[in-house]
Chains A and B, each alone.
Chain A
Amino acid sequence: MTAHLSPTGTVGRFKAHFDLNNQEFSIAGSVRPQTIDELAPSLALLKESIDNVRGVLYINVRRLAQMNNTAFHAFSRVIIDACRVRPELRFVVITSSVVGWTTRKFGRLSKIEPSISVEEYDSEFYPGQSFLEEGGFIPILRTQTKMTWRHERSILPRHGMRPGIVMADICCGIGDFAVLAQKEFEPARIVALDHSKSSLAYARKVASEFDITGIEYTYGDASEMLLDDDQFDLVTCRHSLQIFNRPAQILKELYRICKPGGRVYITNEKNSHCLGEPRAESIRWTYNEVAKLFEHFDMDVELGPKSRRYLADAGFDDIRVESFMVTNLDGDPKDFADMISAWEDVYAGDMAVKRGDSEEFIKQFRQGFKDHISAALHPKGYAGWPIWAASGQKPL
């Protein structure tokens, strides 16, 4: 059931929907009517939803960016009245911290009727997140970006990067890529978004220390961004689709904010293809296990070569895919070795433990990382980390 008002007027910028299976009424967009008459279909839908549920009605306002007081009063009234008529019914309002006002404002309703409660729900797609935030992982992320940048700086112009563009880096992490891109390519504007407050705080601190202006570090949820449609010439999302359990949904959001004719650029790995010599077998075994470990946590670190399909399914044209290998010969082999050792800490030290792996397994698992490190530091050794860079154009 959907009430969708005229797309031309201001009131047409929102959608209300009821899902009986989930007992969920959701309203999204911007709701700024002049009078409540304009809301009649959605208010009727809310009443109907209330009549059709038992026990609890979820009211999903995660994507409700704007709602004026006229509308807020009207919807609140329906809910409050229902509380009085049906004391057995609970109302759970689901908000998102990203919108800024909904948790506080809907929270007031629980002061009026205790059967209304508010839950702030932000998609946490990244089980590895806590490991990374707690550990001293930041220097490693920097090293990682430094190593990939050597390749990406020459790749990016083929994927829509050029001076003067308006770009967004979604899942920007600690923001190094945005800084490097700004220095090298001088885009007119960069919005860099992430859902980790500590990473953003770090990024802002670096920017202010180095007197970098013009990068807008923004807190947000990549699966439901507050950014407007059709805004950016280039949207980048690096090493991140692979850590979401629903990459297609993120890609849909990247598509939405990209201008028609603009491009979305993604990079991803295929971990099982990490390689090294000597001791190729042990290394290969471990990285095969890395892929399975991530799969256990609903992440697909084998996504790299699937980029083409993901981009095509999301509706992109002119898809370009290339791959490159970060190796121990690119720069200081020590950097490569440090990166692997940080991976070992997180993957074997934390994630495998969390999965409940045996000591024996973990020992063998660690061995492959150690062999990869030896390969990197060996005077005749070779160690590699392959990455797929892909982009597509949003049709004009």
Chain B
Amino acid sequence: MPTKDANAEPSFRTMIQVDMEIASFLSNWAHCDYISSYLARTISHNRPDSVLFSNLFSSALNELLEVTFRTRHSGGALECRLSRHGETDRIELTFACGQEERTFLEDAVARVQGVDRQARYLSSLSGDVAPSRDMMLLELTVNYNATLRLEEVDADTVTIVVDLGGLAN
């Protein structure tokens, strides 16, 4: 697994970062919606199609926050950083979690790269009553062309890195 400083891409400029205690994030489901709507609006002003961009970005970020919400955490903080390089917008969500959850996330991220992702997405849609966290991540690649990876920050902290390119084009 790559470590944090493998991410030496100085050209990504941080737009905004929000940190909160995991415990307070988890205290209300509506936080996913509030945070994604607020952040999307904040970073969309200088995108050509600001309203469309904001709506799409909010959709993608909300799914990620919902996945995070459904992850078993081991306390600490949730860090949400948004940065940008040209047409690409990057979301980084950093939080602490146990080995089991980490393995799950690693596998999930590896699976979304698969060539059969479209088919797996469709079969989940027609088969499952509710989407699994896997499917939520997969959906980002299928519908938003996102690329995902997982970074290890330290022994029990990970970062999910999601790049979204040319969202409103």
Interface residues of B: mostly helix, strand, loop or mixed?
Answer: helix
CB distance from A97 to the nearest CB of B (A): 9
CB distance from B113 to the nearest CB of A (A): 19
Contacts of A189 in B (CB 8 A): 45
Q: Is A111 an interface residue (CB 8 A)?
A: yes
Nearest to A189 among chain B residues (CB) is B45
Q: Is B29 an interface residue (CB 8 A)?
A: yes
Contact status B32-A74, CB under 8 Å: no
Q: Is A366 an interface residue (CB 8 A)?
A: no
Q: For the complex, what is the distance from the CA of A72 to the CA of B139, rounded to whole Å?
A: 11
Contact status B121-A108, CB under 8 Å: yes
Contact status B32-A32, CB under 8 Å: yes
Partner of B143, one of A77, A80, A101, A227: A101
Q: Is B135 an interface residue (CB 8 A)?
A: yes
Kindly list 20 other residue pairs between chains A and B, CB separation below 8 angstroms, not including A35-B130, A69-B139: A9-B30, A10-B29, A69-B131, A70-B131, A73-B128, A74-B129, A74-B130, A76-B126, A99-B55, A100-B55, A100-B168, A108-B125, A112-B122, A217-B49, A218-B52, A219-B51, A219-B52, A220-B52, A226-B51, A226-B55
Report A60-104 residues with CB < 8 Å from chain B CB: 65-66, 68-70, 72-74, 76-77, 80, 98-101, 104
Contacts of B122 in A (CB 8 A): 108, 111-112
A-B contact count (CB 8 A): 94
Q: Which residues of A are interface residues toward B (Cβ below 8 A)?
A: 9-10, 30, 32, 34-36, 65-66, 68-70, 72-74, 76-77, 80, 98-101, 104-105, 108-109, 111-113, 189, 191, 193, 204, 213, 216-220, 225-227
Interface residues of A: mostly helix, strand, loop or mixed?
Answer: mixed
Contact status B66-A66, CB under 8 Å: no
Contact status B130-A73, CB under 8 Å: yes
Contact status A77-B129, CB under 8 Å: yes
Contact status B45-A216, CB under 8 Å: yes
Q: Is B63 an interface residue (CB 8 A)?
A: yes
Nearest to B70 among chain A residues (CB) is A34
Nearest to A33 among chain B residues (CB) is B29
Report B132-165 residues with CB < 8 Å from chain A CB: 135-136, 139, 142-144
Contact status A100-B52, CB under 8 Å: yes
Contact status B130-A66, CB under 8 Å: no
Contact status A100-B56, CB under 8 Å: yes
Contacts of A227 in B (CB 8 A): 51
CB distance from B63 to the nearest CB of A (A): 6
Contact status B50-A216, CB under 8 Å: yes
Nearest to A111 among chain B residues (CB) is B122
Q: For the complex, what is the distance from the CA of A66 to the CA of B46, rounded to whole Å?
A: 22
Q: For the complex, what is the distance from the CA of A218 to the CA of B49, rounded to whole Å?
A: 5
Contacts of A32 in B (CB 8 A): 32-33, 62, 66
Contacts of A213 in B (CB 8 A): 46
Nearest to A107 among chain B residues (CB) is B143
Q: Is B2 an interface residue (CB 8 A)?
A: no
Nearest to A193 among chain B residues (CB) is B51
Contact status A73-B29, CB under 8 Å: no
Highest count of chain B CB atoms <10 Å: which of A76, A100, A213, A216: A100
Contact status A101-B125, CB under 8 Å: no
Contact status B125-A220, CB under 8 Å: no
